[in-house]
Structure 1
């Protein structure tokens, strides 16, 4: 086994028995490259990446190819989910040089870490206009040997270009109604009115944009915003991107109709979408939204929860077929014959019609991805039984692999989603799962003395990599949400500790944030990006968490930092709203207040519980909720809040102005859009 044998990343461990002499990312690897005077081959991927597995089988497991790598390079393998900073820096270089990016990412570096040749997947032999991987290796080795000065000039120029890039920072307050209206107009232009979502194929779940649309509707009453969100959610829920048997969403759809997914299932997608569907139900009462929110939450708990109470990162796209071959989607797709084998002729005919299984198939080899082509959104008794029998049969198939490392940021997103979904649908087991994950993050990931956060853990053992901005921001957001649902103010205190670290170590001095701390490992560039990708950007996630914390505590420092961070949102709102959705959602909260709701009353009192539930179900953008005894110590919002005529009461404040307290849940709902 190579040097990856002792690491904790499941992705790296998949390469531990390669004939390639892999090194983990480390100073020792670059020192070895200097000693040998050879370039570094940097390969970046993640465990659920289909083409990463393909390149591994074709090239990294091939003895002859490995010999070329070992002879001419120091090979470094990186899990992008453990080191998002390394991934971001070199992906920026790949995209600048080639106009595109993706994983596996293949970059050749000098021993000083400077990139000079780039690519993604390379086939073993020349194919479809791409050079073969061994051709690339020989070409790079020849250039390093014979044209070293030219290589150095290229590498130096790339590093200079990257270091000179600056974000056009716009300081000041969060954007106002005009900028948010321009963002809505921009999304409308890009909206696919026929199929839902935005843009063409491949089509990704627009989670952050959907959250903005729901908040915009709540603030303005825009029916267009709500319709785009609702129609997109229905299209995804009916499509193959949603697992019609087991719940949960795949990473994206390869087509624009949401039919055929890329079958990997990521924790972050499911956490974000669970919350979106829960918020859609809160706004509309949609039965589909309820079913998908609960189904996605149940999927996360059933399939991704670890023995320690955290949530694993992902399920692979690939798994074994019945004939022993390994293929993408094998666990999820069905042929008519397979339906008949499980259900019998009559029920198989019903299932094929209901789930869109055809003789020709919608995927590969005559298999179909299950969809709701036109079936009812609520199962009847018979189709419910059919669904259960198919799920039971599917459980007997070889399962996709699971990347069981716990990523702090994604667990923060899951905590927020499970806490709210559990509260909305009266599922205390989901709230308990959120609490268990939060407890793991505090016990294992968080350094109590310095309020520093580790990026990952596995099997309850903390990883070596420091948390990045999204870890602090998303965990703080999860903790604030959990505090509002449970009435346990300690989670607000933990959020405050993390946000103080954000302000101390991540702020850039101009109102924005860097993605890595000021004392993190120095790379060729300190990454900084305010735009969303598959997850909310750390920058705008920090703004949202700071805003919520300020609403809870009245901290002017945190409010000012949030508004400064949202300055960039105004600049991007009209030009690129799809890629700044989380910032737009935070800006909606800032414009609305956000509203501060304090519910005071004895624990266990039905009137207290009714007011608390009503507060949580209010649709006012970004509203924060505190619940506890009158003048309670758990939350700052409870101070000087007495009962009203001896009855539990709710106090609502906004923009430094408080309404008269109410004791009636319906009156509270009117004030919060519930």
Structure 2
């Protein structure tokens, strides 16, 4: 890996760890990101210092890791921010770690780590507690989970500045969506503050977070994941309120994605802080082109973006959002989703891209399920129904990542360093469970006749998907009272598992007035299925075992109101 430092960086993989073992040296992991200004500062100030670089080259095996390309490495070795400077044994166990280190701090740490290695060697390393392999706190999935997290909305609410918590303010888009159904005033007020404080009025797009409790001092890097999730949250805020002001940041985020992160087939991952102009595009050395951009098309981020853009299109008939969602989904299916459902994190001709990441699979399943709801079975412009893609991707995750006890691992139980140690992320399990519930509800409604596209996708039934979702949520339900507001989506999925869902099956092609009305029912968790096996021009509104047949948008709204109030 070439850079402006004097360190002889290796790429992540088995080879440098084998080299370290053969040379009897510890490993130095430098976790960085394109968008991270502090990472580039440390390159210049610390690794660019010739004596430090020589010390690193002589006494360690240095490995540079892009945390966006290697999220499993990030989650196992993150020291609390980036850059993360991690020293580990040749087997991957952690000897010591820090975030940013200036030259003096690095000299001190290099000496102490070398002393520790000389004294204890491999025995000086440790496996972080989160990777200890202890079973997750399983329990029953019941109404207490939603009630607890709804209570956390009030307990952690900041009445002075909005949002939740009294430290640095992260936008928490999934928490906002949870609050839209349970504490709408809080959700809408938080959206308003985010629009004022984290939205870039000049260039569009949302900043990552704010340092101050009052949403001041924003960190101005812009991430695809953050922008996609907030675009969807603002669109859902508009769904509940009809407030046109909430559409402005949503369409602005759409425009930012298209103007700044579009790489020709997918969206790139990030753009560096807007006040940083001494870096260049990742694809060029010309500093006049503005902030650094990572134009890598990551599967999970693009799936989330497609889902958000389809959500916006469903509520507003936004042609630009629909067009780019279609293009992203087609690119995902063509380049990143294999025929067996295995998703690659990004496209790499040399086969070095990680595969079977839980977050990627969860987001891809949900995006293609959303496409089936908004665009219908012909969304991909091919003979392949998006539901087919969602099912094979879900099946690969269930078969490979779900443990017998129910929890989902973040990736395959194999790999270099600590990658073979189990990590069962709660947020990833929630995302997968939510996607599986959408998938199950759609599969309930579509024709599943022998030889159809849907029937060839999977041998699993809708109840199989629900069972997998419930197991994923139950794996953590023994600690329901310790789950915080940052994972409020856990309460939303638990609620869907403990009470009847709203499903609207619409006969005929997508885009009719009845289908559009179904998409705009004020419940972002409702599942809508166009081209369902019911008479064209009619819809079936279902809440649990209760159903009503309707023919007009007004009748649909009346039926939804009646059935949901009775449930």
TM-score of the pair, normalised by structure 1: 0.75
1:652 aligns with 2:557: no
What runs of 5+ residues in structure 1 fail to find an aligned partner?
A: 6-14, 95-100, 126-131, 218-224, 328-395, 532-536, 629-637
Listed as ranges, the matches of 1:488-567 within 5 Å are 488=377, 490-518=385-413, 523=418, 526-531=421-426, 537-554=427-444, 555-567=462-474
* Alpha-carbon distance, 1:662 to partner: 0.2
* Alpha-carbon distance, 1:430 to partner: 1.0
1:317 aligns with 2:284: no
Q: 2:362 aligns with which of 473, 489, 504?
A: 473
Q: 2:132 aligns with which of 143, 164, 175?
A: 164
Instruction: Return the alpha-carbon distance in structure 1 between the equivalents of residues 373 and 210 of structure 2.
Output: 35
* Alpha-carbon distance, 1:276 to partner: 0.5
| C-alpha contact (below 8 Å) 1:65/1:134 kept by paired residues | yes
Paired position in structure 1 for 2:117: 144
Instruction: Return the alpha-carbon distance in structure 1 between the equivalents of residues 350 and 506 of structure 2.
Output: 39
Secondary structure of the 1:88 match is helix
1:589 aligns with 2:527: no
- After superposition, the Cα gap between the structure-2 partners of 1:620 and 1:319, relative to the gap in structure 1 and judged at 3 Å, is closer
- After superposition, the Cα gap between the structure-2 partners of 1:660 and 1:81, relative to the gap in structure 1 and judged at 3 Å, is same
Instruction: Return the alpha-carbon distance in structure 2 between the equivalents of residues 154 and 36 of structure 1.
Output: 17
Secondary structure of the 2:269 match is strand
Paired position in structure 2 for 1:635: none
Paired position in structure 1 for 2:343: 453
Paired position in structure 1 for 2:64: 77
Structure with max Cα Rg = 1
* Alpha-carbon distance, 1:142 to partner: 3.2
* Alpha-carbon distance, 1:571 to partner: 4.3
Q: 2:207 aligns with which of 250, 257, 275?
A: 250
Secondary structure of the 1:196 match is coil
- After superposition, the Cα gap between the structure-2 partners of 1:523 and 1:300, relative to the gap in structure 1 and judged at 3 Å, is same
* Alpha-carbon distance, 1:621 to partner: 4.8
Query: How many residues are matched?
Result: 533
- After superposition, the Cα gap between the structure-2 partners of 1:577 and 1:112, relative to the gap in structure 1 and judged at 3 Å, is closer
| C-alpha contact (below 8 Å) 1:318/1:400 kept by paired residues | yes
Secondary structure of the 2:270 match is strand
Listed as ranges, the matches of 1:119-138 within 5 Å are 119-125=98-104, 132-138=105-111
1:423 aligns with 2:380: no
- Please give the root-mean-square deviation of Cα atoms over the aligned residues, in Å: 2.4
- After superposition, the Cα gap between the structure-2 partners of 1:624 and 1:524, relative to the gap in structure 1 and judged at 3 Å, is closer
Paired position in structure 1 for 2:216: 259
Q: 2:189 aligns with which of 218, 222, 231?
A: 231
Secondary structure of the 2:409 match is coil
- After superposition, the Cα gap between the structure-2 partners of 1:204 and 1:181, relative to the gap in structure 1 and judged at 3 Å, is same
After superposition, give the CA deviation of every residue in 1:542-600 in whole Å (9 maximum; x if it has no partner): 10011111111131110111112122564455433313222222223334533221111
Secondary structure of the 1:566 match is helix
Q: 1:410 aligns with which of 289, 293, 301?
A: 301
Paired position in structure 1 for 2:513: 610
Instruction: Return the alpha-carbon distance in structure 2 between the equivalents of residues 264 and 423 of structure 1.
Output: 29
Paired position in structure 2 for 1:378: none
Paired position in structure 2 for 1:199: 165
* Alpha-carbon distance, 1:118 to partner: 1.4
| C-alpha contact (below 8 Å) 2:39/2:83 kept by paired residues | yes
What runs of 5+ residues in structure 2 fail to find an aligned partner?
A: 281-286, 379-384, 445-461
Paired position in structure 1 for 2:448: none
* Alpha-carbon distance, 1:116 to partner: 1.1
Paired position in structure 2 for 1:118: 97
Secondary structure of the 2:550 match is coil
| C-alpha contact (below 8 Å) 2:27/2:90 kept by paired residues | yes
Instruction: Return the alpha-carbon distance in structure 1 between the equivalents of residues 560 and 154 of structure 2.
Output: 27
1:439 aligns with 2:346: no
After superposition, give the CA deviation of every residue in 1:180-209 in whole Å (9 maximum; x if it has no partner): 122111221111111111112321101111
1:213 aligns with 2:211: no
Secondary structure of the 2:10 match is strand
